[in-house]
Amino acid sequence: MGGGDRDHANPLAGVDLAGWFEGHGRDLPWRRTRYPWAIVVAEAMLQQTQVARVTERWPRFLGRFPTPAACAAAPVGDVIDEWAGLGYNRRAVALHRTATAIVDRHGGRVPDGLADLLALPGIGPYTARAVRVFAFELDDAVVDTNVARILARATGRPLRPAPLQALADAAVPRGRGWAWNQALLDVGAGWCTARTPRCDQGCPLAVAGRCAWWAAGRPQPDPAVGSARVSGGQSRFAGSDRQGRGRLVEALRRGPVAAVDLAAVMGWPDDTARAERVAATVVADGLARRHGGTLDLGA
């Protein structure tokens, strides 16, 4: 069943996504648990890392930091070290801060209230709702770039943030929020993709005749382009400040780095000013500490 009992104008009304998920859903390890901290870790990793990499690294991280208390008690440098290969190292610092706040404010237990979750450092609107849905099986709607793209195409127009969330909320069938949201994520990842959507290969919205963009012949511009929460792609990585930051953090995982070596370590041997500027952002983000003429991982 869909969410038509709440809003007959909702494009997802009448689409049995929860039923579709039973036959088409991905078997992912974090879908086999309702342990809230495990869900927090999975969502932190999945933000900008491929699912296959997270599948490999998620159990290892939990083996080292099985609870918020264990993560909070560890030096942040240990968390950064365990994050190696997952990209965007600031997420490791944010996760450590999240764990610390869970211990300090909630006795080490991940809260289920939306306001409490949003008040935690490193937890935004998507992650807060994802924890409520995937750990506590509450009937919120999670809206990442995949779900936002589906809803824009289903309605046939770009959506602003508030109407987008309201539309998603209205569609969730009571008591089936967990499967419903997992299904939407899978449709977005495998069928309603950004570049090569598989509309005519079993997309449940197209099959049910509930996608306005598909029904109109997929005219351009794609309504998902410019719609709220739909990512627009990343800037070039090679030669970027992000690449230099990543090289520095990777070097710091192996040991302290002398300030005089920053430019060489970051790949800009003839641009010490750039290396110092970018290194300062690494320190400001809590990824490293500076002790006189040396940098090391944050403690």
In the structure encoding, which two tokens stand for residue 2, read together? 């869909």
- Catalytic-role residue among 43, 56, 250, 276: 43
Cβ–Cβ < 8 Å for 123, 98: yes
Q: What is the pLDDT of residue 185?
A: 96
Segments in 175-271 forming alpha helices (H): 177-190, 204-207, 212-215, 241-254, 262-265
Superfamily classification of domain 35-134: Hypothetical protein; domain 2 (1.10.340.30)
Q: Does the bond joining 121 to the residue before it have cis omega, within 30 degrees of 0?
A: no
Tens digits of pLDDT across the chain (299 residues): 333 333 347 888 879 998 899 999 999 999 999 999 999 999 999 988 999 999 999 999 999 999 999 999 999 999 999 999 998 899 999 999 999 999 999 999 999 999 999 999 989 999 999 999 999 999 999 999 999 999 999 999 999 999 999 999 999 999 999 999 999 999 999 999 999 999 999 999 999 999 999 999 999 999 999 999 897 655 577 778 888 888 888 888 888 898 888 888 989 988 888 988 988 888 888 888 888 889 888 66
The full set of domain ranges for the chain reads 35-134, 241-297
Q: Three-class SS of residue 252?
A: helix
Burial degree of 53 (CB within 10 A; 0-12, 13-18, 19+): middle
User: Is 22 a residue of the active site?
Assistant: no
Q: How many CA atoms lie within 13 A of 289 on its CB side?
A: 9
Q: What is the pLDDT of residue 62?
A: 98
Query: What residues have CB less than 8 Å from 223, skipping those under 6 apart?
Result: 152, 153, 155, 156, 157, 158, 213
Question: How much is the pTM?
Answer: 0.83
